[in-house]
Amino acid sequence: MNQALFYLILRSTKGRIRAKITRLKNPRYLIGAIIGFAYFALIFRRRIMGGGPSISEVVFLSEGFAAVAACILMFVLSVQWMLVFASGGLNLNESEMELLFPAPLSRRALIHYHLLKAQFGFLVLSSIIALFLKPILGQAGYLPSTFMLFLTMNVFLFNQTFLDMLALVQTKRWLFRSLQGLFALILLFSAIVTLISSLQSLTSSDPIFPDYALVTWVAAPFQWLVRGFVEPGLQSVLISFTAQFSLLGAYYLAITSLSFSFEEGTAQKWSKRKKRRRRFRREQREVNSEKPRAARSAWFGVSPSIWRVLVGKSAIGLLRYATKVPITYMVPGFLICWMFALISGPSEVAPMLGFMALGFGGVLILAGGRLLHLDFRTELENIELLKSFPVKGYQMVISVLVINCLVLGSIHLLLSFLFTLSSMLIVDASSWPYSPIAIALSVMMIFPIVSMVFLLLENLLFLWLPGWFLPEKGERRSRGFDVMGRRIFNIIIRFFGFGLMIIFPTLVGVSATILLGGNTGLLIGSSLFAFGVLAELVPAVAVAGFLYDRIDSIGDDAV
């Protein structure tokens, strides 16, 4: 390892920690940290104090759980392969590219730097999480297991960047992408077949796919990868570690020995990003040059070219959401746990699911803004451009946010379908109070709406309202994004905003479900919940549009 790069990693880590600690001198960050800590302490209190069974007793020992986890892994990987990525494990940021590429460093040194930087961060993060998880998991393998999870993610990121870089430097890029897509489809098919077959095997001895043996060859390596995380025991951990390091080693050898240019790939990635921004500016000019007559005849008062720009950007958003694993999969994760725990979950797993829902919810509430960092705020980096569009605030909010919400909602609809299907298969539905179809329909009604609310709130209440209510002293006009740093208010508003928007439709929905009873009650309750939340979005968008018209700066803190 190059001494200078080691110096860079150590000093950067020190600087990062120092900056985070120094920030706590500021009361708003200190209060935010206390609230965050208190939230988790409250959730974990019973577990930490030793009450209740450990999660490992409920989940990790479930038969066939490794197969299900491997399928999820295959599903995520196939989605990653099908889509083009903007980020990845081997990506150097612009500073690294500008400062390290002209330096006398070999490609190998740069790769070592990146590997070490990532592993170091993962190890620190794993240790912190493991400390939290120790009382919950209640077994010795918690630290390697947590580290394993991050290692798996790292292998994915490696895979993603490596393929992307290879594709970028290909002359016949379309051929490379087509092959990549084909492999992804094979993987997806294998994941579905394995999932259904393995779940079926829990309740029945008859395999539903006669050629299942062929698919097991595809699924087996993924099961090796996840075993250490989902199953306790030294043997599982060793198998996973071996699989992970073999894969990492293969990537390492490929990256260091193949003739493709790491520098070329990185430079082209940044070039692509700049081109995208230039295209946005060009489209903005087209929008501005459009005659008002065209705008009058448009849908919602927004001219067709604006719609084109925004829909086009949403296509980029689609990729972003699909690849933002935490936010895309954590919201449905939260909802699934919540749904099954509170509505129809089997009694033996309900407390565990409820606990997991609280955990997911807490992470979303505290880290949601961070996870969505590249979402709408990225659009708002171009606030000057957006403000120059000949549209009113509410139109802009509808155009930008609702389209993004629909994209996210659509992804969640698909995920909810897959999750509901697998959940129906994994548990014996005969003991449920509702039919699996009614549950599936209600989940599919609720998921997209809740994800829309989440996204809207994240971007509106958490971002705009604090700025509006807390203008800088002596300023005549609000400077919404300049006060984004007031995270404590964001957290409070995020927490209570989400709760307030959800509570009334939830009360109505649950009341209808209980009063009417049965499958009809569930469906009507879900519909009332969904429509109730949708109705609340109308004033929320109006308020947001009103605020949007008054924002004249986003400030550095916001982005």
Partner 1 sequence: MIQVEGLSKYFGSIKAVDNLSFHVKPGEIVGLLGPNGAGKTTTMRCMCGITPASEGRVIIQGADLADDPITAKRELAFVPSEPRLFDYLTVREHLGFFARLYSAADSETRSLHRQKVQQSEQAGESLLQELDLGDRADYLPGALSRGMKQKLMIACALIHEPKILIFDEPFTGLDPHAIRKVRRIIQAHIAKGAAIIISSHLLGMVEDMISNAIILSQGQMLVEGSLKELRQRLSSEHQDADLEEIFIQLTSNNAQSPA
Q: Residue numbers of the site for partner 1 (CB under 8 A)?
A: 2-4, 7-8, 11-16, 19, 94-99, 101-106, 261, 263-264, 267-268, 271
User: What's the N-to-C CA distance of the chain in angstroms?
Assistant: 34
Closest contact distance (angstroms) between CB of 324 and partner 1 is: 21
CB-nearer residue toward partner 1: 104 or 292: 104
Q: Are 142 and 128 in contact (CB under 8 A)?
A: no
In the chain, helix, strand, coil percent, each to 5?
80, 0, 20
Helix axis angle, 487-516 relative to 436-459, nearest 10°?
Answer: 160
CA angle 500, 501, 502 (to 5 degrees): 95
CB-nearer residue toward partner 1: 95 or 347: 95
- Using DSSP, state whether 150 is helix, strand or coil: helix
Q: Which residues, including other chains, have CB under 8 Å from residue 51's CB and lie 6 or more apart?
A: none
Closest contact distance (angstroms) between CB of 369 and partner 1 is: 19
Closest contact distance (angstroms) between CB of 96 and partner 1 is: 8
CB-nearer residue toward partner 1: 265 or 521: 265
Closest contact distance (angstroms) between CB of 8 and partner 1 is: 5
CA nearest to 501, candidates 469, 467, 458, 466? 458
Separation in Å, CA 149 to CA 209, 228, 230, 472, 473: 30, 9, 9, 43, 47
CB-nearer residue toward partner 1: 95 or 204: 95
CB-nearer residue toward partner 1: 268 or 382: 268
CB-nearer residue toward partner 1: 124 or 311: 124
CB-nearer residue toward partner 1: 16 or 282: 16
User: In terms of C-beta distances under 8 Å and separation of at least 24 residues, what long-range contacts does 145-151 make, across chains too?
Assistant: 145/228, 145/229, 145/232, 145/237, 147/122, 147/123, 148/228, 148/229, 148/237, 148/240, 148/241, 148/244, 149/229, 150/122, 150/125, 150/126, 151/122, 151/244, 151/248
d(CA 191, CA 482): 46
Closest contact distance (angstroms) between CB of 489 and partner 1 is: 22
d(CA 133, CA 129): 6
Closest contact distance (angstroms) between CB of 177 and partner 1 is: 14
Closest contact distance (angstroms) between CB of 150 and partner 1 is: 21
CB-nearer residue toward partner 1: 45 or 281: 281
Closest contact distance (angstroms) between CB of 274 and partner 1 is: 11
